[in-house]
């Protein structure tokens, strides 16, 4: 009978093994939840969302168009997807010849920019150049332009008049402008030495506040969890959206919240939408 034995780690592989053990220990008691368990609805066709960066989603001012970068592209040939969340239609924005040349030079568009007031044109910034995509066109393409003709960013990027108060390295509180505590979080991971709350964003009609919480052990992080809390004095605890949540969630209209997530099944959509008004 052959007995399989795990060989002892070599000195060369020991740091990697210790790192894996640290991550496992850090996340052992940390929150982990599929966003589908909290009532999140996956946007069809968003399995390719890269979910990279602090703000992986851009939403038009009218709340209709959600833009993300696709994993099908790369820095020298980026691919951006425009999702019509009203009709659940997915459109891929191509690059014109001039835009493609700029991308090959490392000056291509990134997911940062603004919109025209009427939500018809999205402007994405590059390195010293801007790119415009007109959603009214049948052939959606990013075209280089000198300056963006827009006056507003996405509605979910506005910071609210709330603050994070640190009670200790492993305990934080979310307060409103009057100093009332809306929520408090304490590190759950057995090895966590720090906790942080970021990306506070108020819903446009102001009854809700979204934010994300991350636990750390040195440079290692546990899955970042997304939360929503009511701003009215209900005393209800914050509601967990899911973990991991990547970057900042973003508010649309009618109490709808979008976030880039990880799913228990990689074939499921990565971008989720919650209708929180009924919570």
Fill in the DSSP letter of residue 53: S
Which position has the token pair 């005393």?
235
Does the bond joining 244 to the residue before it have cis omega, within 30 degrees of 0?
yes
This prediction's pTM: 0.83
Decide the pairing of beta strands 121-125 and 58-59: unpaired
216 backbone dihedrals φ, ψ, rounded to 5°: -130, 155
Tell me what pLDDT residue 207 has: 86
pLDDT on residue 195: 94
What ranges do the domains of the chain cover?
Answer: 35-39+156-275, 61-152
Per-residue pLDDT of the chain in tens (279 residues, 90 and over written 9)? 333 332 334 444 544 433 443 444 444 444 557 787 888 999 999 999 999 999 999 999 999 999 999 999 998 999 999 999 999 999 999 999 999 999 999 999 999 889 999 999 999 999 889 999 999 999 999 999 999 988 665 544 445 567 899 999 999 999 987 888 999 999 987 889 999 999 999 998 778 999 999 999 888 888 899 999 988 767 788 999 988 899 999 999 888 999 999 887 888 999 999 998 777
Q: Per-residue b/e over 89-123, b at no fewer than 16 CB within 10 Å? A: eebebebeeebbebbeeeebbebebbbbeebebbb
**DSSP 8-state code for residue 25:** H
Question: Does residue 273 contact residue 85 with C-beta atoms inside 8 Å?
Answer: yes
pLDDT given at position 46: 96
Yes or no: say if 110 and 130 are a contact pair by the CB < 8 Å rule.
no
In whole angstroms, what is the distance from residue 271 CA to residue 274 CA?
A: 10
């Amino acid at each position: 009978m052959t007995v399989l034995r795990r060989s002892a780690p070599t000195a060369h592989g020991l740091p990697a093994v210790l790192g894996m053990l640290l991550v496992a220990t850090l996340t052992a008691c940390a929150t982990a939840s599929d966003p589908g368990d909290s009532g999140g609805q996956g946007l069809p066709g968003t399995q390719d969302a890269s979910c990279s960066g602090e703000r992986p989603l851009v939403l038009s001012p009218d709340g209709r168009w959600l833009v993300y970068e696709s994993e099908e592209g790369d820095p020298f040939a980026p691919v951006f997807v425009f999702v019509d969340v009203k009709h659940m239609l997915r459109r891929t924005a191509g690059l014109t010849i001039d835009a493609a040349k700029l991308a090959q030079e490392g000056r291509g568009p990134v997911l940062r920019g603004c919109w025209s007031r009427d939500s018809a044109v999205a402007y994405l910034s590059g390195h010293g150049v801007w790119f415009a995509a007109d959603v009214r066109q049948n052939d959606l393409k990013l075209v280089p332009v000198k300056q963006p003709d827009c006056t507003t960013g996405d509605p979910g990027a506005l910071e609210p008049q709330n603050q994070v108060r640190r009670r200790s390295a492993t305990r934080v509180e979310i307060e409103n402008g009057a100093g009332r505590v809306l929520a408090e979080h304490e590190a759950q991971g057995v090895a966590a030495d720090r906790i942080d709350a970021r990306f506070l964003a108020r819903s446009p009609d102001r009854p809700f506040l979204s934010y994300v919480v991350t636990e750390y052990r040195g440079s290692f992080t546990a899955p970042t969890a997304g939360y929503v809390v009511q701003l009215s004095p209900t005393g209800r605890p914050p509601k967990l959206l899911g973990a991991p949540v990547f970057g900042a969630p973003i508010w649309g209209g009618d109490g709808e919240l979008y976030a880039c997530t990880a799913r228990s099944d990689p074939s499921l959509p990565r971008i989720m939408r919650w209708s929180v008004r009924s919570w």
